[in-house]
Amino acid sequence: MYSIKEYLTRKVKEFVGDEISVDVSRSPIAGFDYATNVLYIFKNIDENKFLGYLKNDDIVENVDINRKFVNIKLKRDVVFKKIMQSYLIDEWKGYDFGKGRKILVEFVSANPTGPLNAVNGRAATFGSVLSNVLRYFGHNVYREYYVNDVGEQIEKLVDSFIERIKQVKGLSFQIPEGGYCGEYLKDLAHEFVRSEKYTEDRDEIRKFLVSYFVDSHRNVLDRFGVRFDNWFNQSSLVSLDRTFNELNDRGFLYERDGAIYFRSTDFGDDKDRVIKKTKGRVDYTYFAYDVEYIRNKFERNFDEIITILGPDHHGYVNRLMAATRALGFINHKVIILQIVNVIEKDKALKMSKRKGILVLLEELINRVNPAFLRYFFISRLKDSPVDLDLDFINRLTLDNPLYYIFYVYARINGIMRNYGRALPSLDTEVGTDFLDDEFELFLSIQEFRDLLFSAINDPYYLTLWAHSFAKTFHKFYNSNKIICADDLGYDREKLRMILILFSKGVLERWAELLNIELPEKM
């Protein structure tokens, strides 16, 4: 049994048909555990036959209809044994759903034109945790950072840096239109003119800048706990002519006004896209390299590619999917993350790399525990903005959700330190019936796998589970004595200690997925 919800959902679908979407969720009715909306969807269903079907299952004790919702009461001892059996055979350390399917996850991929910022931090966290979740489900995951080391933006960076060199030499200078105005380039120019690497050769300056910012990105992400299997340079894409000759042969290109266009509207895009320019220093456009990069990924024998982009890339989804289909591939998911608002003293700080107004990821790491940053970066749905309130995040009180979760783990370890007996085995017969609070804690723990499955689409659901579980755990802890053999008997104490050990193991698995270290003491 993967989880109770998954089991009941499958059971309902077996009755009504797999192709139908039904909901199974926790029941709001006292005395019942789960409920399904199946009677809302199937108006003509034989209610008595359906209720009898559910009652015949070995995990169901009772069913009842309330306002068209079918409420289900579980056989607590049976469900507990089934879930613990799956936990004990290490199914909770991984679940071979993906069967080794190869997935390339590309994320962050910030232009090497300046330091990483808060938005890059969100992408780094999202991509890293998503990769961990996919690995949990048996996928062979490859993390890649795409380095835009050629193109118009790199040339604008070089232009801007040359002007900064003039400035630090006391010469007249002017940052070009559309260039990079950040003070970070001025500081770097000071270092550059005094170093052994100083040169006036444009190609060498370009190499220096790309190398400097790529190394900077790598070092900051390493401090942040995010690492990649490969850093892929755009300049290594050398088969663009071959790719676009093939697309031309298929009728997907045409020339107009001295430029070559890709017929992306044939695939649902709002307009056709230029892939080659006759004006400017660069013939092929950024989009042309995107097309070639998509082909390169699939030609490396990945079964699926996932591209994670920032909030200023909404227009990219249709064009990237158009390119994917024109190349003859289909398994490409493009994810757009929303903005990050960094708040300090109740004021939102603005960010613009070109204007030089930056909230640097490195600065955030210096001021906030990276574990808290990672948690808060995925504490909202990917389609929603994230507000990083630095004062709140640094406040180590129980209203801080991660601190609240940490307190669960500290309490668990405190219980174990104070326990005067050998810890019970998780496969031990509990020897007593569940009380309501005990079973509620058990249900909350095992719901981890339901939210983990949802995290395949958005890691936010991992934070949702953890905070909900923490609430249930603290409520149980505050209302019940754990080491209670003298008052309630050893069987009751044994059951509660098994729940404590179960909580500990699942919370540790959760922390591994988020790359968060849990504190044993607080």
* The pLDDT of residue 169 is above 90: yes
Backbone angles phi, psi at 338, to 5 degrees: -85, 180
List, in order of start, the domains of the chain with CATH numbers.
Answer: 4-74 (3.30.1360.70), 107-236+338-394 (3.40.50.620), 396-514 (1.10.730.10)
- Whole-angstrom distance, CA of residue 140 vs CA of residue 303: 10
Confidence at 18, pLDDT banded by 50, 70, 90: low
The half-sphere exposure of 433 on its side-chain side, counting CA atoms within 13 A, is 4
Q: Are 340 and 314 in contact (CB under 8 A)?
A: no
* The pLDDT of residue 471 is above 60: yes
In the chain, % of residues over pLDDT 70: 97
In this prediction, residue 235 carries a pLDDT of: 95
Strands in 354-485 per DSSP E:
386-389
Residue 453 vs residues 4, 274, 313, 339: alpha-carbon distances, Å: 13, 39, 27, 25
pTM exceeding 0.75: yes
- Whole-angstrom distance, CA of residue 226 vs CA of residue 128: 6
Residue 99 vs residues 18, 102, 133, 330, 510: alpha-carbon distances, Å: 22, 9, 14, 19, 22
Q: Are 243 and 291 in contact (CB under 8 A)?
A: yes
Burial of 76 (0-12, 13-18, 19+ CB in 10 A): buried
- Whole-angstrom distance, CA of residue 167 vs CA of residue 174: 9
b/e string for 456-484 if b means 16 or more Cβ within 10 A?
bebbbbbbbbbeebbebbbebbeebebeb
In this prediction, residue 207 carries a pLDDT of: 96
Work out the number of other CB atoms within 10 angstroms of the CB of residue 355: 11
- Whole-angstrom distance, CA of residue 11 vs CA of residue 17: 10
In this prediction, residue 230 carries a pLDDT of: 98
In this prediction, residue 17 carries a pLDDT of: 79
Strands in 67-116 per DSSP E:
69-74, 102-106
State the average pLDDT for the chain: 93
Confidence at 54, pLDDT banded by 50, 70, 90: very high
- Whole-angstrom distance, CA of residue 81 vs CA of residue 429: 9
In this prediction, residue 89 carries a pLDDT of: 80
Q: Are 261 and 253 in contact (CB under 8 A)?
A: yes
Q: Are 308 and 123 in contact (CB under 8 A)?
A: yes
Provide Rg for the chain, Cα atoms: 28
Residues 6 or more apart whose Cβ sits within 8 Å of residue 199: 205, 208
3-state secondary structure of 487: helix
Average pLDDT, integer, range 281-292: 88
In this prediction, residue 358 carries a pLDDT of: 66
* The pLDDT of residue 90 is above 90: no
In this prediction, residue 96 carries a pLDDT of: 79
Nearest residue to 83 (alpha-carbon basis) of 495, 482, 443, 470:
443
Write the pLDDT tens digit of every residue in 440-464: 999 999 999 999 999 999 999 999 9
User: Which is more confident, 347 or 323?
Assistant: 323
- Whole-angstrom distance, CA of residue 154 vs CA of residue 213: 11
3-state secondary structure of 388: strand
* The pLDDT of residue 184 is above 60: yes
Bridge partner list, 117: 360
Q: Are 357 and 329 in contact (CB under 8 A)?
A: no
In this prediction, residue 359 carries a pLDDT of: 86
Q: Which DSSP state fits 91?
A: G
Average pLDDT, integer, range 318-331: 97
Is the alpha carbon torsion for 194, 200, 206, 207 positive or negative? negative
- Whole-angstrom distance, CA of residue 118 vs CA of residue 107: 14
Backbone angles phi, psi at 62, to 5 degrees: -155, 155
Burial of 256 (0-12, 13-18, 19+ CB in 10 A): exposed
Write the pLDDT tens digit of every residue in 362-380: 999 999 999 999 999 999 9
Q: Which DSSP state fits 484?
A: -
Average pLDDT, integer, range 508-520: 96
Residues 6 or more apart whose Cβ sits within 8 Å of residue 490: none
* The pLDDT of residue 354 is above 50: no
Q: Which residue has the tokens 């708040």?
A: 343
* The pLDDT of residue 20 is above 80: no
- Whole-angstrom distance, CA of residue 478 vs CA of residue 484: 14
In this prediction, residue 280 carries a pLDDT of: 63
In this prediction, residue 11 carries a pLDDT of: 93
Q: By mean pLDDT, which of 220-234, 253-267, 276-290 is the weakest? A: 276-290
